[in-house]
Amino acid sequence: MRTGLLTVLALVGFAANSLLCRAALAGGGRLIDAASFTGVRLVSGALVLAVLLRARGGRHTGGSWPSALALFAYAAGFSLAYVRIPAGVGALLLFGCVQATMLGTGLARGERPKAREVAGLLLALGGLVGLTAPGVSAPDPVGAALMAGAGVAWGVYSLRGRGNRDPLAATADNFLRSVPMTVALSGVGLLVQGTPHATGSGLALAVASGALASGVGYSLWYAALPHLTATRAAIVQLSVPVLAAVGGVLLLGETATQRLVLAGAALLAGVLLALSAKAAPRAPVKAPSRE
């Protein structure tokens, strides 16, 4: 029950993050440029997590430079890609690469999905395609590569979280380690784009994304991951586009189309079908290296 609640809360956080990023970076970054959004997002996440960790009486431990690099690569790749490609094709690339990374690693480590999990995955992927693909044209190749890289990076970050014993400390440590990388990205942004662009609204959205949806949401995700197989951790994330779409309807006034209802229902049915299967034994998970 606890794992299920943590997972649901984390997925809601992911969906909220999607909405915040969409609002901040829509229109090619009118409210804030992608590099500034990434920097504010990760720094604000690091600050809030440090406060929470200090209030609890813990220290920044359990993170690693490889995990921090994966976190940074995801956040930067996602933001930079979002201003170059449509949201639909971006979701396909992102979640397709997350699935490939996590499922492939799970298989390589000896996980063998049940037939019901495979059937649920295929149904959910069909729903994802139906939800995001109609009207999609060939994307900008640079944007597509950035989003695909973000998907792989998030898959790696998730996989590395399965061996952590203190989710809050590990997440706080990873966010703190990512700060120098954001400084480097900002420096590159200055050289390439010139003066950073950020409005008050853009900064507020970036802070909300980093402090709440990312910092707190990723801590919850790291708390759930040790109790999920790589296969299930990958499959449940396919529900995020539906949750984000529902949030768009309820909070942003977007239209609930018939395609959204049918494709979303198929996607969620696939996820539930996969989760209804008896969980396969988890492959042994080692604590992530701190190298």
pLDDT in tens, 42-80: 999 999 999 999 998 888 888 999 999 999 999 999 999
> Based on the structure, what is the number of domains in the chain?
1
- Is residue 289, in this structure, part of any structural domain at all? no
What is the predicted pLDDT for the residue at 196? 81
- Is residue 190, in this structure, part of any structural domain at all? yes
- Is residue 240, in this structure, part of any structural domain at all? no
- Is residue 155, in this structure, part of any structural domain at all? yes
- Is residue 74, in this structure, part of any structural domain at all? yes
- Is residue 156, in this structure, part of any structural domain at all? yes
Q: Which residues, given as ranges, of the chain have pLDDT below 50?
A: none
What is the predicted pLDDT for the residue at 2? 86
What is the predicted pLDDT for the residue at 39? 94
What is the predicted pLDDT for the residue at 254? 79
- Is residue 241, in this structure, part of any structural domain at all? no
Round to whole Å and give the CA distance between 279 and 120. Answer: 13
| Range 51-54 contact pairs with CB under 8 angstroms and sequence separation of 24 or more | 52/168, 52/172, 52/216, 52/219, 53/168, 53/169, 53/172
What is the predicted pLDDT for the residue at 170? 94
- φ, ψ for residue 196 (rounded to 5)? -60, 150
Decide: pTM greater than 0.85: yes
Round to whole Å and give the CA distance between 155 and 230. Answer: 9
Range of the domain at 208: 2-112+138-229
Round to whole Å and give the CA distance between 122 and 115. Answer: 11
